[in-house]
């Protein structure tokens, strides 16, 4: 199974990530060809597999890392992630993700809803069959709840320019950081880490998730469509206001008002002006400063974990990830 090149330097991890994808694929037994193809496309999409990678690495904190079980926990997490991507695409009316047409535009929302439901099934089935305790399940369901809550917050706050930094961060804590935290925590627990170590892993995952999302939101303002695989300022066009914009708006609300109160689609020209305003009021710099704070917090939690090869990899990957420019 092809795994993203970012893991080329870590052959063992790469092999395990390939097993994660194979395990998910082996559970795709739905007769419906559209749904099966849809899920297999996701499995072969060449995504970064960050969540399962963190889960696998954290399974080595404790003494009893059993490869098969660690792979199962990582696969259950990736399947939940895929399920939420599929349903979010329906909800966001997003029509491209990573430059491929999304499932719901290709085959209609109906198949997308079932494909997501089926991926939820796969996630729980993998846990039921391979993981060592029900504890993961409880965490996975709580995780799903929080993720849904974060997505709902986002849905409810659309086109509301009054969004505060606090409510932005609470949204991100749900929709992104939660699953990173669960990935690290579940991996640690499956590997026999102590409860304290598992909580360190949880916190580390939370901070990584926070930074990861803030960076993603920054890149939505900075990146070009080509590099990132999604249209620039796509969130803004959907009424999703993210940190760089929120910071800039705090400086000069009235400058943004005419654009955000527009009833029609924002034009190319509107977007250029908004980008300039964000630049002028240092929205990106301030968001970056907050991301750096979260990165430091993540690395501090990481430093508390016991030494080992896994820890060095965690440091390298986290540093690279949180400093990415695209």
DSSP letter at 6 equals G
Site string for its own copies, 49-88 (x = CB under 8 A): --------------------------------------x-
Strand partners, 101: 96
Integer CA distances (angstroms), 250 to 160, 172, 279, in order: 14, 19, 13
12 makes contact with its own copies (CB under 8 A):
no
Integer CA distances (angstroms), 103 to 96, 99, 114, 118, 216, in order: 9, 12, 11, 14, 22
Strand partners, 97: 100
The alpha carbon of 60 is separated from its chain's Cα centroid by a whole number of angstroms, namely: 22
The residue within the footprint of its own copies, chosen from 26, 40, 129, 250 (CB under 8 A), is: 129
296 makes contact with its own copies (CB under 8 A):
no
116 makes contact with its own copies (CB under 8 A):
yes
**Residues 234, 224: Cα–Cα separation, whole Å:** 11
Q: Which is nearer to its own copies, 35 or 232 (CB)?
A: 35
Q: What tokens appear for 10 in the block?
A: 């870590």
Going 39 to 41 to 42 to 43, the CA torsion angle's sign is: positive
Residue 77 CB, nearest approach to its own copies (Å): 14
Q: Which is nearer to its own copies, 75 or 218 (CB)?
A: 75
25 makes contact with its own copies (CB under 8 A):
no
Question: Rounded to the nearest 5 degrees, what angle is found at the Cα of 303, between the Cα atoms of 299 and 304?
Answer: 125
Options 128-136, 203-211, 220-228, 318-326: segment touching its own copies (CB under 8 A): 128-136
Q: Which is nearer to its own copies, 122 or 215 (CB)?
A: 122
List residues near its own copies by CB under 8 A.
Answer: 29-32, 34-35, 87, 90-91, 109-111, 113-114, 116-118, 120-122, 124-125, 127-129, 134, 137-138, 140-142, 144-145, 148-149, 151-153, 155-156
């Amino acid at each position: 199974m092809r795994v993203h090149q970012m893991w080329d330097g870590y052959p063992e991890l790469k092999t395990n990530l390939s097993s994660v994808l194979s395990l998910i694929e082996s559970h795709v037994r739905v007769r419906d060809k559209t749904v099966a193809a849809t899920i297999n496309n996701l499995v072969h999409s060449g995504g970064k597999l960050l969540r399962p990678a963190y889960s696998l690495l954290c399974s080595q904190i404790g003494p009893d890392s059993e490869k098969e079980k660690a792979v199962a926990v990582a696969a259950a997490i990736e399947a939940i992630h895929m399920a939420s991507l599929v349903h979010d695409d329906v909800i966001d009316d997003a029509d491209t993700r990573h430059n491929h047409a999304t499932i719901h535009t290709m085959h209609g929302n109906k198949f997308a809803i079932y494909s997501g439901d089926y991926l939820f099934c796969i996630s729980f089935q993998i846990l039921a069959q391979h993981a060592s305790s029900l504890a993961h399940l409880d965490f996975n369901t709580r995780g799903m709840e929080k993720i849904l809550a974060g997505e709902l917050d986002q849905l409810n706050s659309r086109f509301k320019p009054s969004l505060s930094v606090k409510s932005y961060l609470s949204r991100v804590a749900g929709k992104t950081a939660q699953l990173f935290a669960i990935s690290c925590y579940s991996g640690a627990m499956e590997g026999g880490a102590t409860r304290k170590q598992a909580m360190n892993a949880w916190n580390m995952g939370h901070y990584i998730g926070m930074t990861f999302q803030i960076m993603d939101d920054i890149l939505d303002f900075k990146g070009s469509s080509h590099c990132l695989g999604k249209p620039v300022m796509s969130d803004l066009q959907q009424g999703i206001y993210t940190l760089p914009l929120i910071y800039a708006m705090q400086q000069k609300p009235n400058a943004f008002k005419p654009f955000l109160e527009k009833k029609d689609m924002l034009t190319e020209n509107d977007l250029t002006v908004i980008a300039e305003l964000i630049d002028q009021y240092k929205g990106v710099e301030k968001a970056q400063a907050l991301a750096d704070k979260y990165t430091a917090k993540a690395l501090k939690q990481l430093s508390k974990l016991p030494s080992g090869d896994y820890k060095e990899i965690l440091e390298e990957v986290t540093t690279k990830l949180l400093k990415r420019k695209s």
